[in-house]
Amino acid sequence: MKALFIESTSNSPKVLFDPANFRFEISGESRPENVSVFYKPILDWIKELELELASRKNTGQIDAAYEFNFNFDYFNSTSAKYILDFCKKIGVLYSRGHKINVRWHYEEDDEDMLEVGQEMSRMAKIPFDYVEIQI
């Protein structure tokens, strides 16, 4: 399974998917000019993970635990659609019995970000852990 690293910019988040070290994080602001182009490698990566996990299950290999951290400062409505698509794919893996944990980080005074995380959790059908960031 290959790693995926996308450096953050002023309008796109940092993406760090490092299977070798079990680090999976998307953080920062997400309002890229072309959202579909930005999120395509991320959605492609999760498809690869799905194939990898299916292969492991078929060969009887022990399933590793995956923890995905979302730590957004802000994302626009177009990005929200792609983030939800990604979360739904994680939810499918979770429903198939894979060890998936999602941690949704939000600033202590940002009720909107907390509510968005709760809604994404509900729609993706996977429980999130909510991590309040003290500011």
Q: Per residue in 97-107, pLDDT tens?
A: 999 999 999 99
SS (H, E, C) 26-83: EEEEECCCCHHHHHHHHHHHHHHHHHHHHHHHHHCCCCCCEEEEEEEEEECHHHHHHH
For 82, the token pair is 């792609």
The count of structural domains within the chain is: 1
Residue 93 and residue 99 in contact, taking contact as beta carbons nearer than 8 Å: no
- Using CA atoms, how far apart are residues 30 and 96, in angstroms rounded to an integer? 29
Give how far Cα 32 sits from Cα of 89, 98, 107, Å: 21, 31, 22
What's the pLDDT at 135? 85
| Containing structural domain, residue 67 | 4-133
Q: Per residue in 16-62, pLDDT tens?
A: 999 988 889 999 999 999 999 999 999 999 999 999 988 887 777 77
pTM of the complete model: 0.93
